[in-house]
């Protein structure tokens, strides 16, 4: 064995502790508890848990919740959940200072949630799927993408966490 953190099948385990933005920390350092993988939740539970994590400044962890929904839910809903995961990862990259990657993922996620909600760009608020404020999230993502690309102020993941639902 080469000393790397691998499971019995040779796959990376990524067992290093991580901070709230998913950055690896030194072995033995206190980190943020990771999200369990493969959890099947209802759409409402997914939105509620992801919002809790976003509000706590943990968009990397919120992306894992959306990824579970994308992989375990109905195929027709996958573009919406994938787009939400991309928004969360985009916020993660923006908060880490990666303007290019953050903006790219924010825009890709915005397009994905529009597709997943079955609305076209510029459509009205009728696109709310699973109680998700699709038009509001699209606007938030595109505005944040433009700001980070333009060299705006540093992104604070807590202060700038999006509201997933129209009513909060």
Q: Give the whole-angstrom CA distance, residue 63 versus residue 39.
A: 13
pLDDT at 7: 60
Query: How many of the other CB atoms lie within 10 Å of CB of 44?
Result: 11
- Does residue 40 contact residue 71 with C-beta atoms inside 8 Å? no
Q: Within the chain, which residues score under 50 in pLDDT?
A: 1, 120-127, 168
Q: What residue ranges define each of the domains in the chain, with the CATH number in brackets?
A: 43-149 (1.10.3450)
Report yes or no: 87 and 106 within 8 Å, Cβ to Cβ.
yes
User: Residue 17's pLDDT is what?
Assistant: 80
Tokens 């790219």 map to which residue?
104
Nearest partner of 105 among 95, 91, 118, judged by Cα: 91
């Amino acid at each position: 064995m080469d000393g790397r953190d691998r499971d019995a099948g040779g796959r990376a385990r990524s067992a290093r502790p991580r901070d709230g933005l998913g950055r690896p920390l030194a072995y033995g350092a206190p980190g943020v508890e990771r999200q369990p993988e493969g959890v099947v939740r209802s759409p409402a539970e997914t939105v509620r848990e992801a919002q809790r994590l976003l509000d706590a400044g943990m968009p990397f962890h919120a992306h894992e919740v959306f990824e579970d929904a994308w992989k375990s839910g109905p195929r027709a809903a996958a573009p919406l959940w994938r787009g939400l995961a991309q928004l969360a990862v985009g916020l993660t990259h923006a908060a880490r200072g990666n303007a290019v990657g953050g903006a790219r993922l924010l825009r890709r996620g915005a397009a994905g949630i529009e597709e997943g909600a079955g609305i076209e760009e510029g459509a009205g608020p009728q696109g709310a799927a699973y109680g998700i404020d699709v038009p509001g999230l699209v606007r938030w993502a595109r505005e944040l993408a433009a700001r980070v690309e333009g060299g705006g102020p540093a992104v604070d993941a807590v202060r700038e966490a999006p509201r997933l639902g129209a009513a909060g």
